[in-house]
Structure 1
Amino acid sequence: MEVRHQDTDTRGIVDPAGLLTRVRFRRHRPAEPLRHYVEWYWLIDWDLPEPYASQIVPHPAVNLTFQWDEDEGPPYGELTGVTRSLYTRKLSGRGRVCGVKFRPGGFRPYAPAEPVSRWTDRALPAEDVFPQATGEAARTVVTPVDDRDRVAALDAFLSALAPAPDPQAALAMELVRRIRADRTVRRVGDFADAEGLSTRALQRLFSAYVGVSPKWVLLRYRIQEALDHAGTHSDTDWAALADELGYADQAHLIRDFTATVGVPPTAYAQAAAPA
């Protein structure tokens, strides 16, 4: 799959043009010692005259966010596990979010007492997992005006957690990376064999460290590629794309895309096309 610079990668965002005309969206690298487990920080600020619903086809990643809806209350922290359905976030008034996107497989060392599947499809107060994620900690992260200060606050928060090295987390992260990068990976059983694992061992590893099954990860990355393609090409050969992404046929791609995004890929592509 195509490798992109983090500032231009909008895969997973439904209608990225619509979102980016309404919010200030940035990504930043964490401090070097944190990069093994953290993919990037993402920051969003908005000041909207009318509400807007942002929709995401989530990555197989856990996110820790510090948020401030300025018209609704004080800053707070939230932990969001891997979300298997379309994620919708309603934005209104003025606000900001400072998020930590952990690498798929990279969150478990920060909360080793529970399998990552414990948090799948859940959003809960960050203090429930990290007692340090108090309202004051959230305020320290989200209130600075300068991005450098927000990034420094995120670095300080995560560095204080000091996770122990975990070889199984490293293995899980590498396996997810291979699934994402290699379109020849089409069957979980074949992938497990190629990696010297039983299918059951691979499934147990993903449940404990990623939060979802390897098959779900494979299908999710396919859908994200199809979503990105639909948003940038109005004349897609869907049968050819289905074959490229490893689907048995076009009908399977259309079914999965519609179930995930809520509309067929052709309708999405038409809506995304420039007027």
Structure 2
Amino acid sequence: MATTWGRTADGGTWELAVRPPASGLRGQVLEYRGYRMDLRHPRRRLEVPTAVMTMVFGFDGPIRLVDAVTPGVAASYSSLVAGMRRTGTVGEHNGRLHGIAVSMTPRAAYGVFGPALGDLTNQWVDLADALGPGTAGRLREQLFEAPGWEARARLLDGFLLGRLADSRPWAPAVEWVWRELNLNAGQVGVQEMADEVGWSRRRLEMLFREQVGLPPKSCARILRLQRALREYRDAPDRDGAQVALRSGYFDQAHLSREFRATLGCTPSQFLAHRASEIGAEPTDRLTGEVTTAVLPNSDRELAR
């Protein structure tokens, strides 16, 4: 695994190990990300909704998850599965964190979890509830006792190849609609796609909830938001009106409303958090995507 280390300005340390999956998993499992943090202060991170499912095996310390828009929705986990969510998540920990995360496509997640994937809609779930306590406990113990990140990645390769070997495939219509949504960054009508596959809109939404985790319209919103974040990243001088137009929003006001409804803050507030020097450790949780902003510890809620 490609491993990097660093030290924060106040003397904290971090380690990050990233590896792609085995060749038989490529295109379904995106990457493994091992991490070890020993920071001097608690850390709060705003996580953006993405079209990715995450399975986390924690070895040291729980993480508290809070809905970015509805702070009353909160829970703490050591190991968990995070389904696709309509709203962002604020992750909080005390500065010590150790574990490994698996990022996978919804298609792979359906293979791993089966129809139970629908129960993960807009939720976080304890890993034992998602995989079963025996399977989750044994795998976590094996990963913890493995001699290093590469050995852990090989264990995950074997586990996931086994789970996916006899898994249920997506319905062909779900496969086609998901591809269209991604090819068009969410800028395609749900009814238009339903007509193309010969399904009613209601039937398509029901299958998407079961096999993807969210209905097509919610998936399209996530993909448009990710497109906007890439636009901001790749062309920092581009104004909000241009970003909105290129990302499929009616205008800049529409883009700003979507940020507030999804992340609880405006685009400028989110970008200001990303530009701050609060943390020196790597920020984004998925290579090539804009997923995270580090928040000040003094802010108990996002700016409204």
TM-score range, shorter chain: 0.7 to 0.9
Q: How many residues are matched?
A: 253
Query: For 2:56, which of 47, 53, 65 is the aligned residue?
Result: 65
Offset at residue 186 of structure 1 (A): 2.9
Larger CA deviation: 123-132 vs 169-178? 169-178
Residue 105 of structure 1 aligns to a residue whose secondary structure is helix
Offset at residue 159 of structure 1 (A): 3.3
Aligned partners of 1:113, 1:241: CA distance in 2, in Å? 37
Matches within 5 A, 1:135-146: 135-144=137-146, 146=148
Query: Equivalent residue for 1:236?
Result: 238
Offset at residue 162 of structure 1 (A): 4.7
Offset at residue 239 of structure 1 (A): 1.7
Letter in 2 for 1:224: Q
Residue 188 of structure 2 aligns to a residue whose secondary structure is coil
1:29 matched to 2:31: no
Aligned partners of 1:43, 1:68: CA distance in 2, in Å? 11
Letter in 1 for 2:220: L
* Change beyond 3 A, Cα 1:230–1:128: same
Query: Equivalent residue for 1:122?
Result: 123
1:105 matched to 2:96: no
Offset at residue 120 of structure 1 (A): 1.6
Task: Please say if residues 61 and 78 of structure 2, whose CA atoms lie closer than 8 Å, have aligned partners that are also in contact.
Answer: no
1:216 matched to 2:218: yes
* Change beyond 3 A, Cα 1:78–1:266: closer
Residue 129 of structure 1 aligns to a residue whose secondary structure is helix
1:268 matched to 2:270: yes
Runs of at least 5 residues in structure 1 that lack an aligned partner in the other structure: 1-6, 8-20
Task: Please say if residues 54 and 90 of structure 1, whose CA atoms lie closer than 8 Å, have aligned partners that are also in contact.
Answer: yes
Residue 138 of structure 1 aligns to a residue whose secondary structure is helix
Letter in 2 for 1:128: D
* Change beyond 3 A, Cα 1:76–1:90: closer
Task: Please say if residues 62 and 107 of structure 1, whose CA atoms lie closer than 8 Å, have aligned partners that are also in contact.
Answer: yes
1:45 matched to 2:46: no
Offset at residue 70 of structure 1 (A): 5.3
Task: Please say if residues 31 and 155 of structure 1, whose CA atoms lie closer than 8 Å, have aligned partners that are also in contact.
Answer: yes
Aligned partners of 1:89, 1:234: CA distance in 2, in Å? 26
Residue 224 of structure 2 aligns to a residue whose secondary structure is helix
> What TM-score, normalized by structure 2, do the two folds share?
0.71
Query: Equivalent residue for 2:182?
Result: 180
Query: Equivalent residue for 2:70?
Result: none
Residue 135 of structure 2 aligns to a residue whose secondary structure is coil
> What TM-score, normalized by structure 1, do the two folds share?
0.77
Task: Please say if residues 177 and 193 of structure 2, whose CA atoms lie closer than 8 Å, have aligned partners that are also in contact.
Answer: no
Residue 107 of structure 1 aligns to a residue whose secondary structure is helix
Task: Please say if residues 106 and 173 of structure 1, whose CA atoms lie closer than 8 Å, have aligned partners that are also in contact.
Answer: no
Aligned partners of 1:183, 1:159: CA distance in 2, in Å? 29
Matches within 5 A, 1:164-179: 164-168=166-170, 172-179=174-181
Task: Please say if residues 187 and 224 of structure 2, whose CA atoms lie closer than 8 Å, have aligned partners that are also in contact.
Answer: no
Runs of at least 5 residues in structure 2 that lack an aligned partner in the other structure: 3-11, 64-76, 278-304
Letter in 1 for 2:121: T
* Change beyond 3 A, Cα 1:121–1:45: same
Task: Please say if residues 76 and 135 of structure 1, whose CA atoms lie closer than 8 Å, have aligned partners that are also in contact.
Answer: no
Larger CA deviation: 217-226 vs 80-89? 80-89
Say what the alpha-carbon RMSD is for the aligned residues. 3.1
* Change beyond 3 A, Cα 1:232–1:113: closer
Letter in 2 for 1:87: T
CA deviation string 1:7-37 (max 9, x = no partner): 9xxxxxxxxxxxxx97444432222333354
Query: Equivalent residue for 2:6?
Result: none
Query: For 2:158, which of 146, 156, 164 is the aligned residue?
Result: 156
Task: Please say if residues 43 and 99 of structure 1, whose CA atoms lie closer than 8 Å, have aligned partners that are also in contact.
Answer: yes
Question: Percent of aligned pairs with the same residue?
Answer: 26
Task: Please say if residues 186 and 221 of structure 2, whose CA atoms lie closer than 8 Å, have aligned partners that are also in contact.
Answer: no
